[in-house]
Amino acid sequence: MNPDNFGSQLPTLRGPDLSLRWLTAADLPALMTIFANPEVVRYMATEPLDTREAAERYLLSIHEGFQSGGLYQWGIERDGAVVGTCTLAGIDRDNRTAEIGFALGREHWGRGLILRALPLVIEFAFNTLQLHRIGADADPRNSASIRVLEKLGFQREGLLRECYFHMGEIQDAALFGLLQPDWRASAYCPPAD
Ligand SMILES: CC(C)(COP(=O)(O)OP(=O)(O)OC[C@H]1O[C@@H](n2cnc3c(N)ncnc32)[C@H](O)[C@@H]1OP(=O)(O)O)[C@@H](O)C(=O)NCCC(=O)NCCS
């Protein structure tokens, strides 16, 4: 039973031209299109989803994360197709924190989509889950991701040296944090009603 009493699935979060919604088995082909591409997962904590079985295991972990309440992952739907995902992982209700993650299918990069999707997740984290802090980490070479985080108002807080072994290489992680007051001051935070 989900600890936030969301019933059987995550609430849909709606933006002007996209929505964040619950992922189902019907989305397995879309998940494979997004995450089979090594360019997309190069700096992510996931291996390329290059078989249907790998995609099914990935979807199962999303559904288990929802049940336990530790991981909420939405599909980004635009024009009827899932083009990426946004995630709150490591949701810690005692400390009121979580880690944010995001990815777009390669053909959807460069259009500002993620900067329209992530504010919906951040608002959900601070308003619905009543979190106080959202963390993120990014490989220091992942310039697009770092630019996205900084535009949203995340502050760079440090560097973990050589903390991941992923896709055959050792990777560093630049650490970022967004506190609720940082978000309220961000240009991407919607005005209060
Ligand atoms: C991170 C990701 C979602 C960004 O999406 P995107 O659609 O390319 O982002 P945008 O087009 O909105 O660009 C965001 C900003 O980054 C900049 N940017 C994009 N690619 C860049 C690059 N290679 N180098 C430097 N800056 C870059 C853009 O110019 C823009 O800044 P600006 O508005 O000031 O010009 C996308 O690259 C992705 O899915 N990457 C793979 C998954 C991943 O690494 N996720 C993050 C794990 S921490």
- For ligand 1, the distance from its centroid to the CA atom of residue 99, given in whole angstroms, is 18
Cβ of 115 below 6 Å from ligand 1: yes
Instruction: Indicate the top mutation candidate among 99, 115, 142, 147 to test ligand 1's pocket, ranked by most ligand atoms within 8 A of CB.
Output: 147
Burial class (CB in 10 A: 0-12, 13-18, 19+), 71: buried
Residue 102 beta carbon below 6 angstroms from any ligand 1 atom: yes
Q: Could you give the 3-state DSSP secondary structure of residue 108?
A: helix
Residue nearest to atom 1 of ligand 1 (CA): 145
Q: What is the CATH number of the domain that holds 85?
A: 3.40.630.30
Domain that holds residue 142: 13-184
**Pocket lining: 143 vs ligand 1, CB cutoff 6 Å:** yes
The per-residue pLDDT for range 176-185, each reduced to its tens digit, is 999 999 999 9
In a domain, 170, yes or no: yes
Percent above pLDDT 90 for the chain: 97
pTM of the predicted structure, to 2 decimals: 0.97
The pLDDT tens digits of the residues spanning 17-64 come to: 999 999 999 999 999 999 999 999 999 989 999 999 999 999 999 999
pLDDT on residue 4: 96
Per the structure, the count of domains in the chain is 1
Supply φ then ψ for residue 19, to 5 degrees.
Answer: -140, 155
**Residue 99: φ, ψ to 5°:** -110, 135
What's the pLDDT tens digit per position in 137-150? 999 999 999 999 99
149 is a domain residue: yes
In this structure, is residue 139 part of a structural domain? yes
| pLDDT score of 192 more than 90 | no
